[in-house]
C-alpha cells in the first residue's frame, strides 16, 4: 500500500501552527515536516486547510444506548451494585448513528463506559469511531473501571435490601472500599490456591495492581473529595468524571494531582448535585493547572455538540488553547494513551481532522474531512445531510 502525504495544510502541534507535510504509512504518522514528495506517494491536497489531531471524547456511552431508533438501552445492569466483571464492549453497536455524528466534527476516539447506576459498574475501553466490528475498533481494552458516587447509586437502589444495595454516601464509599480490600485478600489466597476463581475479584485485579484507572462518577464537591480520599487511601490510579462542583476546589485538585473529565456542558439539571453548574469550571481548572478533558457523555448530549460545548467554555473565560488541549492531549494522557493519540507527530495514530479555518473562528462547523487510522472516512462534501452549524 502506498504511503499518503497530506500537503498544503497548516498543522496544529500543541498550541502552535506550523507549515509542512504529514507522511502516513498505513495506520501511523511516519513524519511531519518539509520532506520532498515522492512520486510513489498518494498525495492529499489540503491547501488552505487546518489540521488538528483527531479529537477524543473521554467519557461516552456511544453505541450502548442508540439514539436513532436502535435496539435499546444497554448502559446499566441493575440488581447488584458491584459489577466490575461487566464490559462496555459487550453492549456497543457500531451502527449507532452517533458514530457518524462524531466523525462529522472530528471525534476519532471515544472512551465507552458503563453507566453510573452501580458503585462499580464495569470495564471501560477506548475505541475508534469508525468501523463495523467493535473488536476491530479497539484502541485499548480495558482502559479503566467505572465507579459511581453520589445520587445515582442511591436513587437506583432505593427500596432494595441487600449487602450490595447502598442507601447512603457512606454505604457507597464503604462498599467500594470493601471490594478493593477483598480483592487484595483474594489475590493473596490465589498465591497458594491458584485454582480459585471469582469473576468480581478477577475483574478488580487490574484496578488493584494499577494497570488501569478508576473513573469515579462524581458531581458534587463532597463526592469529588470522597473520590480523592478513596483513590489515595487505596493507592489507586483514578480520574474524576463530570466533576460539576470541582471548580470550587480546583486548587485542591491541583495539589492532589488529579485529572478530570468535565461535562456534559448543557442539558437538564436532573439531580440536585448538578445544581449551580457553570461553564466557568473550565477556566477555574485551567487557572489552577488541572488537566481536564471535555466530554459529551453521549447520549446525554449528542456527540456532534463537542465543539459547541468548547465554545461555551471559551465564552465563560477558558482559553482556546486549553479547550483544544481538552479535546486532544489531556484526554490522551488521562486515558494512558499519550503515546498514540492526541498529537500529529511521528509514531502516533494517523487520526487527523481538517477544518476550513482555525477552530472557534466565527462559526463552529463540521469538519471538511476526518481521517481514522490513515483513511479518510468522512468528507463533508459527501454528506447528503449537509452540515451542522451552530451560532452562539
* 3-state secondary structure string across 30-83: EEEECCCCCCCCEEEECCCCEEEECEEEEEECCCCECCCCCCCECCCCCCCCEC
d(CA 85, CA 203): 5
Q: What is the pTM of this model?
A: 0.94
Q: How confident is the model at residue 391 (pLDDT cuts 50, 70, 90)?
A: very low
- The CATH architecture of the domain made up of 1-54+342-391 is Roll (2.30)
Tell me the CB-side half-sphere exposure of residue 387, using CA atoms within 13 A.
16
What is residue 34's predicted lDDT score, i.e. its pLDDT?
93
Taken in order 246, 110, 310, 23, the sign of the CA dihedral is: positive
What is residue 20's predicted lDDT score, i.e. its pLDDT?
94
Report the Cα–Cα distance between both ends of the chain, in Å, rounded.
44
What is residue 386's predicted lDDT score, i.e. its pLDDT?
47
What is residue 146's predicted lDDT score, i.e. its pLDDT?
98
**Percent of the chain residues past pLDDT 70, beyond the cut:** 92
Cell of 260: 478530570
Nearest to 104 by CA among 392, 358, 300, 385: 385
What is residue 249's predicted lDDT score, i.e. its pLDDT?
96
What confidence tens digit (pLDDT) does each residue in 40-73 have?
999 999 999 999 999 999 999 999 986 655 566 8
Q: Under the phi-then-psi rule, with left for phi > 0, alpha for psi from -120 to 50, and beta for the rest, what region is 254?
A: alpha
What confidence tens digit (pLDDT) does each residue in 111-144 have?
999 999 999 999 999 999 999 999 999 999 999 9
For CATH 3.20.20.140, the residue range(s) in the chain are: 55-341
3-class SS letters over the chain: CCCEEEECCEEECCCCEEECEEEEECCEEEEEECCCCCCCCEEEECCCCEEEECEEEEEECCCCECCCCCCCECCCCCCCCECCCCEHHHHCCCCCHHHHHHHHHCEEEEEECCCCCCCEEEEEEEEECCCCCHHHHEEEEEEEEEEECCHHHHHHCCCCCCCCCCCCHHHHHHHHHHHHHHHHHHHHHHHHCCCCCCHHHHHHHHHHCCCCEEEEEECCHHHHHHHHHHHHHCCCCEEEEECCCHHHHHHHHHHCCCCEEECCCCCCCCCHHHCCCCCCHHHHHHHHCCCEEECCCCCCCCHHHHHHHHHHHHHCCCCHHHHHHHHCHHHHHHCCCCCCCCCCCCCCECCEEEECCCCCCCCECCCCEEEECCEEEEEHHHCCCCCCCECC
> Regarding beta strands 260-262 and 238-242, do their DSSP bridges make them parallel or antiparallel, or are they unpaired?
parallel
Cell of 253: 485538585
- Is 162 or 19 the better-scoring residue by pLDDT? 19
What is residue 99's predicted lDDT score, i.e. its pLDDT?
96
Mean of pLDDT values over 309-329: 97
What confidence tens digit (pLDDT) does each residue in 141-199 have?
999 999 999 999 988 887 777 777 888 999 999 999 999 999 999 999 999 999 999 99
- Is 263 or 273 the better-scoring residue by pLDDT? 263
What is residue 175's predicted lDDT score, i.e. its pLDDT?
96
Nearest to 241 by CA among 155, 80, 114, 127: 114
Q: How confident is the model at residue 265 (pLDDT cuts 50, 70, 90)?
A: confident
**Percent of the chain residues past pLDDT 90, beyond the cut:** 85
d(CA 27, CA 15): 24
What is residue 268's predicted lDDT score, i.e. its pLDDT?
57
d(CA 251, CA 255): 6
Cell of 54: 483527531
d(CA 376, CA 355): 13
Which CATH code of 3.40.50.720, 1.20.1440.230, 3.20.20.140, 3.40.50.880 fits the domain covering 55-341?
3.20.20.140
d(CA 64, CA 5): 36
The answer to whether 150 and 109 are in contact (CB under 8 A) is: no
Residue 392 has pLDDT above 60, yes or no: no
What is residue 131's predicted lDDT score, i.e. its pLDDT?
97
For CATH 2.30.40.10, the residue range(s) in the chain are: 1-54+342-391
What is residue 381's predicted lDDT score, i.e. its pLDDT?
81
- State the chain's mean pLDDT as an integer: 92
Amino acid at each position: 500500500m502506498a504511503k499518503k502525504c497530506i500537503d498544503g495544510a497548516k498543522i496544529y502541534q500543541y498550541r502552535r501552527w506550523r507549515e509542512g507535510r504529514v507522511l502516513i504509512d498505513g495506520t501511523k504518522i511516519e513524519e511531519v515536516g518539509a520532506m520532498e514528495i515522492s512520486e510513489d506517494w498518494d498525495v492529499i491536497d489540503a491547501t488552505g486547510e487546518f489540521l488538528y489531531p483527531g479529537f477524543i471524547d473521554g467519557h461516552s456511552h456511544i453505541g450502548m444506548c442508540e439514539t436513532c431508533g436502535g435496539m435499546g438501552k444497554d448502559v446499566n445492569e441493575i440488581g447488584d451494585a458491584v459489577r466490575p466483571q461487566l464490559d462496555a464492549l459487550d453492549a456497543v453497536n457500531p451502527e449507532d448513528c452517533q458514530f457518524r455524528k462524531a466523525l462529522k466534527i472530528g471525534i476519532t476516539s471515544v472512551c465507552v463506559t458503563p453507566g453510573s447506576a452501580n458503585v462499580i459498574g464495569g470495564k471501560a475501553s477506548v475505541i475508534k469511531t469508525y468501523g463495523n466490528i467493535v473488536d476491530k475498533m479497539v484502541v485499548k481494552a480495558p482502559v479503566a473501571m467505572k465507579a459511581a458516587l453520589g445520587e445515582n447509586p442511591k436513587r437506583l437502589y432505593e427500596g432494595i435490601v441487600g449487602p450490595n444495595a447502598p442507601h447512603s454516601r457512606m454505604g457507597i464509599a464503604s462498599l467500594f472500599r470493601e471490594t478493593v480490600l477483598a480483592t487484595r485478600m483474594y489475590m493473596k489466597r490465589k498465591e497458594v490456591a491458584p485454582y480459585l476463581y471469582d469473576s468480581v475479584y478477577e475483574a478488580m485485579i487490574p484496578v488493584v495492581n494499577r494497570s488501569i484507572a478508576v473513573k469515579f462518577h462524581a458531581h458534587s464537591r463532597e463526592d469529588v473529595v470522597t473520590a480523592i480520599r478513596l483513590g489515595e487511601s487505596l493507592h489507586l490510579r483514578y480520574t474524576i468524571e463530570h466533576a460539576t462542583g470541582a471548580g470550587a476546589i480546583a486548587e485542591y485538585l491541583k495539589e492532589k494531582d488529579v485529572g478530570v473529565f468535565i461535562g456534559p456542558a448543557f442539558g437538564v439539571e436532573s439531580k440536585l448535585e448538578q445544581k449551580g453548574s457553570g461553564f466557568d469550571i473550565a477556566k477555574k481548572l485551567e487557572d489552577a493547572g488541572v488537566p481536564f478533558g471535555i466530554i459529551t457523555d453521549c447520549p446525554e448530549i449528542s456527540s456532534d455538540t463537542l465543539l459547541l460545548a468548547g465554545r461555551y467554555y471559551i465564552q465563560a473565560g477558558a482559553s482556546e488553547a486549553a479547550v483544544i488541549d481538552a479535546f486532544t492531549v489531556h484526554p490522551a494522557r488521562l486515558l494512558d494513551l499519550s503515546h498514540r493519540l492526541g498529537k500529529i507527530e511521528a509514531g502516533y495514530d494517523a487520526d487527523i481532522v481538517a477544518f476550513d479555518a482555525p477552530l472557534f473562528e466565527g462559526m463552529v462547523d463540521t469538519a471538511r474531512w476526518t481521517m481514522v487510522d490513515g483513511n479518510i472516512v468522512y468528507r463533508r462534501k459527501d454528506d447528503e445531510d449537509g452540515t451542522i452549524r451552530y451560532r452562539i
